Amino acid sequence: MNVIIHIVILAKKPNYPGHVPLSPLQRIFLVAGSAIMGLKAPWRGDMISILGDSSGQPFFLRRLLKQMLSDETGRQILMEKPRITSASLNLPFLRTLPLNTLGRIYVDWIDREHVSPDTRSPTRYVDDPEEAYVMQRYRECHDFYHALCHMPTNIEGELAIKWLEFVNMGLPVGALSALFGPFRLNCNQAALFRKIYIPWAVRNGLVAKTLINVYWEKELTRDINEVRQKIRIEAAPPLH
């Protein structure tokens, strides 16, 4: 996959720091290569990020941007452009919050799952700076969905959240993971996933507020059940 990245030729001046402009042919090649690698090695977060960047424009990210612009909170997020990092969230403070708050449940979840908000790859292959931020925000909010829904980072948990993201926000990278990821489950896991978790994800994805319009940083001290009620989302059934 490194070959794919290295052969990209800059056709025009970058639109923002780190931006890699692509021709239409280069974009097609990058989508195909990152999709294949993402399916073969789903733990490669860099490949999933490249797939998200290269497949999201021109239609899907533009539609998501319009959804943010049509929502009061979405417009505030676009204006302020917050980033979700260990520093911005103040993880030590979150560990002092009551056990029932979103912030405490989130920080307990990342501690338990050994993940960090600082590991999300920067957006590089989205041309429009506003759409690039939408893609970055989409990535950085992912762990909040896990914490909110009590989903671990195992295969079933990741696939359930990908289904939720796909139904709720409609980006191709979510569709690829949602549609092809279940083939990595064994027969019993796949049957349970189809029976319980796909219906849960579809139901909640359709009913919930568009998740990218949630200003998670402003909900951290709120009771998690109040957050779920506000967003119109249910905790997932226990996986095991």
Q: How many domains does the chain have?
A: 1
146 is an annotated ligand-binding site residue:
yes
Whether residue 226 lies inside any domain: the answer is yes
Whether residue 148 lies inside any domain: the answer is yes
Q: What is the pLDDT of residue 3?
A: 45
Whether residue 193 lies inside any domain: the answer is yes
118 is an annotated ligand-binding site residue:
no
Whether residue 35 lies inside any domain: the answer is no
127 is an annotated ligand-binding site residue:
no
Write out the residue range of the structural domain in which residue 191 sits.
Answer: 85-119+141-231
130 is an annotated ligand-binding site residue:
no
- Give residue-wise pLDDT tens across range 177-220: 666 666 677 788 888 888 999 999 999 999 999 999 999 999 99
Whether residue 46 lies inside any domain: the answer is no
Whether residue 218 lies inside any domain: the answer is yes
Whether residue 18 lies inside any domain: the answer is no
- Give residue-wise pLDDT tens across range 120-150: 888 888 889 999 999 999 999 999 999 999 9
Whether residue 111 lies inside any domain: the answer is yes
pLDDT(53) > 80: no
DSSP of the chain: -HHHHHT----S--SSTT-----HHHHHHHHHHHHHHHHH-TT-HHHHHHHHHHHHTTTHHHHHHHHHHTSHHHHHHHHH-----HHHHTHHHHTTS-TTBHHHHHHHHHHHHT--GGGPPPP-S-SSHHHHHHHHHHHHTHHHHHHHHT--SSHHHHHHHHHHHHHHH--HHHHHHHHHGGGGS-HHHHHHIIIIIHHHHHHHHHHSPPGGG--GGGSTTSBHHHHHHHHT--PPPP--
